[in-house]
Amino acid sequence: MFDNEKTVNSKTVLGDNVHLIGIQVRGEGRVTIGDNFHAGSGCEIITENHNYDDGEAIPYDDTFVTESVEIGDNVWLGIDVTVLPGVSIGEGAIIQAGSVVTQDIPKGAIAGGHPAEVFEHRDMDHYETLKAEGKFH
């Protein structure tokens, strides 16, 4: 399901029952989004950075460092979440509104902040029961 306008590049793979509300995918890296994904408005997934380490100009040159982003099944991103290059967000994770995800988030984690850090975990027994019963929003 696509709500409102999205920008998704040709290297983006979407699972089933994906809900995107104004999400933007920036860069040439691969993005994989699992089933039953929900993203609030204003979210961004970024797959490349300017080359500042070994480039030929300061502060950066015309080349980019590209990394993929992987988002598991049943992930929920709140409004205005930014996911940076090279990040993996595990199945069933929830990312708090306004967060910047700079590192991997494990399965079932609830994370938030800038940078996003895990502060809680879902009740995984309950999660697995709902999953087994096919109860997806």
Residue type, 5: E
* DSSP string covering 35-87: TT-EE-TT-EEE-EEE--SS-SSSS--S-EEE--EEE-TT-EE-TT-EE-TT-
Question: d(Cα 36, Cα 42) in Å, to the nearest integer?
Answer: 18
The one catalytic residue in 19, 50, 126, 137 is 50
Question: d(Cα 39, Cα 76) in Å, to the nearest integer?
Answer: 6
Active site residue 121: no
Question: d(Cα 99, Cα 21) in Å, to the nearest integer?
Answer: 16
The torsion region of residue 74 among left (phi > 0), alpha (psi -120 to 50) and beta comes to left
| DSSP conformation class of 115 | T
Known catalytic residues?
50
